[in-house]
Amino acid sequence: MKTAAKRLLLVASAALLSLAAQANPAVYPTPGTPAPPSSFTAATSGLLVAYYTGAAGGFTNLVGARINGVDGTPGLDNHASAYGQTFVLGAVSAGDSLVFFIDANSGAARYYSDVSLNSDGVNHVWAAPFAGDAKVPAGTNLAFEDLPSGGDFNYNDHSFVYQITAVPEPASWALLLAGAAGLAWRRRLR
């Protein structure tokens, strides 16, 4: 009886773990209508990291970030990236202005989260909160529309969650190294 109970517990645990593996972000609720515009500001300092969350439209698309008016290098291919794959969009400081963009159709067009920067005057980004899962942390999910003039407005052509990860300060590194050196010295004395 104990063996059967252990097996049942093991199977139940495995089933629960498999459920927590991936929680896809919400789908745009009103396809065919433009999403409301969004603006973004860095809340903390660190590395601005994108986590791929899916949406692979017909075109090959890359994403990037404009930090304080300077476009960064795009990456995170919507056809070659795996769910949860990361791409560092750049380093930011608290208060920096963030504008995200998509290089649509292998770079034939660039559409920004700031509508005023888009040549067609259309919003190509829908932003929604994401609770996170085993591969992608909680944050804001950005879903892009890659068609000129908004196309079908389904915002299902490239999506990622962004998060700012802290970069250790030099003093923290010094403290860590001093502790490691102290442990090595203590071990040597033994």
Query: Is 161 or 5 the better-scoring residue by pLDDT?
Result: 161
Is residue 17 in some structural domain? Answer: no
DSSP calls for the chain: -HHHHHHHHHHHHHHHHHHTS--PPPPPSSTTSPPPP--EE-SSSEEEEEEEEE---SS--EEEEEETTEE---B--TTTPPTT-EEEEEEE-TT-EEEEEEEETTTTEEEESSGGG-TT----EEEEEE---SSS-SEEEEEE--SGGGTT----SEEEEEEEEP---HHHHHHHHHHHHHHHHHHHH-
pLDDT digits (tens, 9 = 90+) for 40-82: 999 999 999 999 998 778 899 999 999 999 999 999 999 999 9
pLDDT at 8: 58
pLDDT at 7: 66
Is residue 19 in some structural domain? Answer: no
For the chain, how many structural domains are there in total? 1
pLDDT digits (tens, 9 = 90+) for 78-132: 999 999 999 999 999 999 999 999 999 988 999 999 999 999 999 999 999 999 9
Q: Please state the φ and ψ torsions of residue 9, each to the nearest 5 degrees.
A: -65, -40
pLDDT at 70: 97
Is residue 9 in some structural domain? Answer: no
CATH number at residue 154: 2.60.120.400
Contact 125, 154 (CB under 8 A): no
Is residue 91 in some structural domain? Answer: yes
Is residue 12 in some structural domain? Answer: no
Domain of 51 in residue numbering reads as 30-170
Length of the chain: 190
pLDDT at 22: 72
Is residue 20 in some structural domain? Answer: no
pLDDT bracket for residue 6 (50, 70, 90): low
pLDDT bracket for residue 189 (50, 70, 90): confident
What percentage of the chain has pLDDT greater than the value 90?
67
Rounded to the nearest integer, the mean pLDDT of the chain is: 87
Q: What is the pTM of this model?
A: 0.78
What percentage of the chain has pLDDT greater than the value 70?
85
Q: Per mean pLDDT, which range of 48-62, 143-157, 158-172 is the poorest?
A: 158-172
Is residue 160 in some structural domain? Answer: yes
| HSE toward the beta carbon, residue 156, CA cutoff 13 A | 11
Is residue 14 in some structural domain? Answer: no
